[in-house]
Amino acid sequence: MERLVIFVLAYVPLLLNDPGRVAADTKAYLYLDPGRLMERATSMWQPEVAMGTVTHQNIGYLWPIGPFYWLADIAGLPDWLAQRLWMGTVLAAAGLGVRWLLRTLGWRDGGVLVASLAYMLSPYLLNYVDRHSVILLPWAGLPWMLGLTDRALRTPGWRHAAMFGLVTLTVGGVNASSLLLVGLGPALWLLWSGLEASVPWRRVASATVRIGVAFVSTGLWWMVGLAVQAGHGLPTLRLTENYRVVSDAATAPELFRGLGYWYFYGQGRLGAWIEPSTSYTRWALPLSFALPLLALLAAAVVRFRHRGHALALIVVGILVGIGAHPYDDPSFLGRIFREWTLTDVGLALRSTPRALPLSVLGLAICLGAGVGAVARWRPRVGPAMTGVLCLLVVANLSPLWQGEMLGSLVQRPEDIPAYWHDAAEHLETRNSSVPGTGTRVLEIPGSDFAAYRWGNSGDPVLPGLIDRPHVARELIPQGSPPSAALLVALDTEIQEGRLDADALAPLARLMGVGDVVLRSDLQFERFRTPRPVDLWARVRDAPGFDRRIEFGNPVPNVAGPQRPLLDQHTLSRSVGAEDPAPVVVLPVTDPVAILRTADPTRPILVSGDAEGIVAAAGEGLLAVGRPLFLTGSFSDDPGRVLDLVGPGTRIVLTDSNRKDGHRWGTIRET
């Protein structure tokens, strides 16, 4: 009966939550083409993305989320159904893990079900379930790791340690910091078992060694991937949220009720980033505090085996989650951690609220222990108490039974519009006609995330429909520093309405682009991307392109009612301005293949940076077949610049490459 209840609550509400619609969870290409995603994840170098990039954590898609969606795709399951089954499986794994842990510890009463549901249905999962469900894997794996740790302590041999390694192999590949923070739980279990003398220190040491060997052995694949990315990729951690942002939301009261993750409280132009969050500041507030308080009360009055372990999990989980809050005046230990986050290693562990599964599990165990104590004290009251608390736990996760687990702002229809498939087929066919290794596709304009008028996919859909290399600006830069800087410089001109149309084709050739794709079906008001009508007027007659190909019917792309954008830009637009088709392909005249040769005796030296290159392109100063160098790249060896100067050298002086600051919270400058 316990397992049936867990399965029903894990799967059924999610299956009833907006059937036929797909949430922008984890990676769009898991739904569009999981086989290609897995194939590319086998290599840390991806030439198909961002003019070539060292990937960040893509290797983790090899197991288990990639194979799950790949098998669902082979079986012909609809994407939305596969997604709900994945999410339900993660929830069920968490609930069954707690049940198995408590059975391992000798529990046999109704407290097992209460504890299992209290953990499985914690508000903690709202932080990630509809956008980054893969980050919930360490949460789902924690009770299994603790159960195997306890068994490894009490039985000799490598069996349970090896199984521990297989669990961490399964739950830790995509996000190492989440695994390491949750991994404090098994370490704490080992330490407390030794301190309370329930297990000799010799056995604690033996189990620690066995578990450590198993963990490292099964984690080498993603550890090596992280090392390669750290040594050769962009500093991704420094291009995302900093620790101050994380710390500001990590207050003790919020962490106590399973929340406290900064993204949970964010507000965008169309509403809350996590839509169910609003209920936890209103009517759901009392219950979200009442349940953990009831768990603490049970821990205070009920003596039960492993109470010390549970309390240690609660204390450490909340303390680690708090970290250096408040950021400007932390505790002594918090100050040390704050300074550590200024290093790359420390910054990798900045998401301290991801240690919350420890406290959530500790509180769930205490709550279950209280129910078990009541059942033993008053056997007739036990079943009723179990039922009431199970109902309260379900009520505490109100989005589950209200059909709001997956926010409407992060959803799209099951089927991508036909015009995108038609455009993808055309681009694949055209690429075969270009000599050499082919060319890339450049998508403009850039966007923080791919929110289309027809739905939100999170990632651009086009790379999931083509094999051809693709480049488009997104919130987090990819590629090498020079290629990322060039893409940012070009797209900034587009975003700010300053693009010189004469520069587009020369820059496309420099980037190995054979086709420029204008996507005019974005929700432009959401991230303040260029308005489709205005951008179309700027690029439709750009020189250096063959006859354009349009896909879809030209229809007005009107901002939604949440942010109608009836401002001076809209009102000053001429009557009868032409609306672009949703997708327009601009074929580059005389495209240049990605791999090509250049004449070393005729270099172009640009004194400046990527913005200078964009400006030079608009003035016609770039040329096919001539290598391009930035003089600043020779700052360590200035003499090499003189070696490049000759009769065929073109020197371009710009006023770029000035010291300036950049913000990575949005792609817009103004």
DSSP state of 588: B
| CA 106, chain centre distance (Å) | 38
Which DSSP string do the residues of 139-157 spell out, in sequence order? HHHHHHHHHHHHHHHHS-S
> Hey, what are 147's tokens?
């159960």
Asked if pLDDT for residue 172 goes beyond 80, the answer is: yes
Phi and psi at 272, nearest 5°, equal -65, 140
Confidence class for position 15, pLDDT limits 50, 70, 90:
very high
**E strand or H helix at 61, and its extent?**
none
Confidence class for position 670, pLDDT limits 50, 70, 90:
low
**E strand or H helix at 411, and its extent?**
strand 411-413
Asked if pLDDT for residue 434 goes beyond 70, the answer is: no
> To the nearest whole percent, how much of the chain has pLDDT over 90?
83
Lowest-confidence range among 131-140, 269-278, 541-550?
Answer: 269-278
Per-residue model confidence as pLDDT tens digits over 76-129 = 999 999 999 999 999 999 999 999 999 999 998 889 999 999 999 999 999 999
Residues 397, 121: contact at Cβ < 8 Å?
Answer: yes
Asked if pLDDT for residue 510 goes beyond 70, the answer is: yes
Q: What is the CA radius of gyration of the chain?
A: 28
pLDDT average, residue stretch 247-273 = 94
Identify which of 162, 138, 160 has the alpha carbon closest to the alpha carbon of residue 149. Answer: 160
Decide the pairing of beta strands 583-587 and 604-607: unpaired
What pLDDT score does 433 carry?
59
> To the nearest whole percent, how much of the chain has pLDDT over 70?
99
Per-residue model confidence as pLDDT tens digits over 316-350 = 999 999 999 999 999 999 999 999 999 999 999 99
Asked if pLDDT for residue 572 goes beyond 80, the answer is: no
Lowest-confidence range among 26-35, 393-402, 436-445, 544-553?
Answer: 436-445
Residues 174, 349: contact at Cβ < 8 Å?
Answer: no
Burial class (CB in 10 A: 0-12, 13-18, 19+), 250: buried
Decide the pairing of beta strands 411-413 and 440-444: unpaired
Residues 74, 68: contact at Cβ < 8 Å?
Answer: no
Residues 24, 456: contact at Cβ < 8 Å?
Answer: yes
Confidence class for position 636, pLDDT limits 50, 70, 90:
confident
| Domain chopping of the chain, boundaries | 2-406
Which DSSP string do the residues of 122-188 spell out, in sequence order? -GGGGGTTTT-GGGGHHHHHHHHHHHHHHHHHHS-SSHHHHHHHHHHHHHSSS-HHHHHHHTHHHHH
Confidence class for position 560, pLDDT limits 50, 70, 90:
confident
Residues 128, 262: contact at Cβ < 8 Å?
Answer: no
Asked if pLDDT for residue 435 goes beyond 70, the answer is: no
Euclidean distance between CA atoms 499 and 506, whole angstroms: 13
Confidence class for position 669, pLDDT limits 50, 70, 90:
confident
- Percent of the chain that is helix, strand, coil (3-state, to 5): 55, 10, 35
Confidence class for position 668, pLDDT limits 50, 70, 90:
confident
What pLDDT score does 437 carry?
55
Burial class (CB in 10 A: 0-12, 13-18, 19+), 566: exposed
In the predicted model, what is the mean pLDDT of the chain? Answer: 94
Phi and psi at 584, nearest 5°, equal -130, 130
What pLDDT score does 574 carry?
75
Per-residue model confidence as pLDDT tens digits over 216-225 = 999 999 999 9
Per-residue model confidence as pLDDT tens digits over 236-258 = 888 889 999 999 999 999 999 99
What pLDDT score does 8 carry?
98
Output the CA–CA distances (angstroms, integers) from residue 366 to 34, 119, 178, 359, 649, in the order listed. Answer: 41, 11, 24, 11, 75
